[in-house]
Amino acid sequence: EPEVTQTPSHQVTQMGQEVILRCVPISNHLYFYWYRQILGQKVEFLVSFYNNEISEKSEIFDDQFSVERPDGSNFTLKIRSTKLEDSAMYFCASSRGPAYGYTFGSGTRLTVV
Amino acid sequence: AQKITQTQPGMFVQEKEAVTLDCTYDTSDQSYGLFWYKQPSSGEMIFLIYQGSYDEQNATEGRYSLNFQKARKSANLVISASQLGDSAMYFCAMRGLTGGGNKLTFGTGTQLKVEL
């Protein structure tokens, strides 16, 4: 069964450093998403991406965040200058379209120290 | 705007019994989709079941069924014949299909513990 692949599974970074979280969505999917889950809390939407541009973003997705689909297969989330409160599980997801389900990756656990 | 409410932070069920996890929602969209995801302790999000707002029949997937009551705006998950491996966090989520954007809005989750 096709799956969404996320790397790395765990990342520890120092406050103020830049991190790039990587995702390979399912190949025939057109919509891509990033979500965040702070430990013990609910899953929060960050951003959706369609047709090579951001289609929607949340208040959390401020100027320190950016997304890119550099080569037609990877979908990345960059956090420019990490803060302690960015520590969370980050999930990538993809979908064929609005009437279809999402497939989530297994997540990247980011720890900012 | 969409809102999902899960009022049960934790639930216990005995192995082989059925359990219902509650979910209510609020939306101004006429057309929407409702989802349930399972999150085991390893952290991944596993899709369980989907119900479209215009589907006349309740969705079923193996031991999972969704008790959809549109007038009450509820979408409860029923797990039949619980197994130890069902112990996990369960999230209800929804997505608007008309003008509500594409994002999923999640509830706060219910931690289910299956006991012998």
Q: What angle do CA B38, B82, A37 make, to 5 degrees?
A: 15
Hey, is A34 helix, strand or coil?
strand
- pLDDT at res. B101: 55
Instruction: Look at the alpha carbons of B8, A93, A109, B38 in this order and tell me if their dihedral is positive or negative.
Output: positive
Q: Is B57 on the interface with A (CB under 8 A)?
A: no
Query: Nearest chain A Cα to B90, which residue?
Result: A42
CB contact under 8 A, B43 and A101: no
Among A48, A98, A105, the residue with its CB nearest the CB of B97 is A98
Mean pLDDT of B55-66: 95
Q: Helix %, strand %, coil % for chain A, to 5?
A: 5, 50, 45
- Give the type of residue at B10: G
Among A43, A101, A106, the residue with its CB nearest the CB of B91 is A43
pLDDT tens string A39-91: 888 899 999 999 889 999 999 999 999 999 988 789 999 999 999 999 999 99
In this predicted structure, the answer to whether residue A100 has a pLDDT above a threshold of 80 is no
| Neighbour count for residue A94 (Cβ, 10 Å) | 25
Distance from CA of B44 to the nearest CA of A (A): 4
In this predicted structure, the answer to whether residue B27 has a pLDDT above a threshold of 70 is yes
Burial of A69 (0-12, 13-18, 19+ CB in 10 A): middle
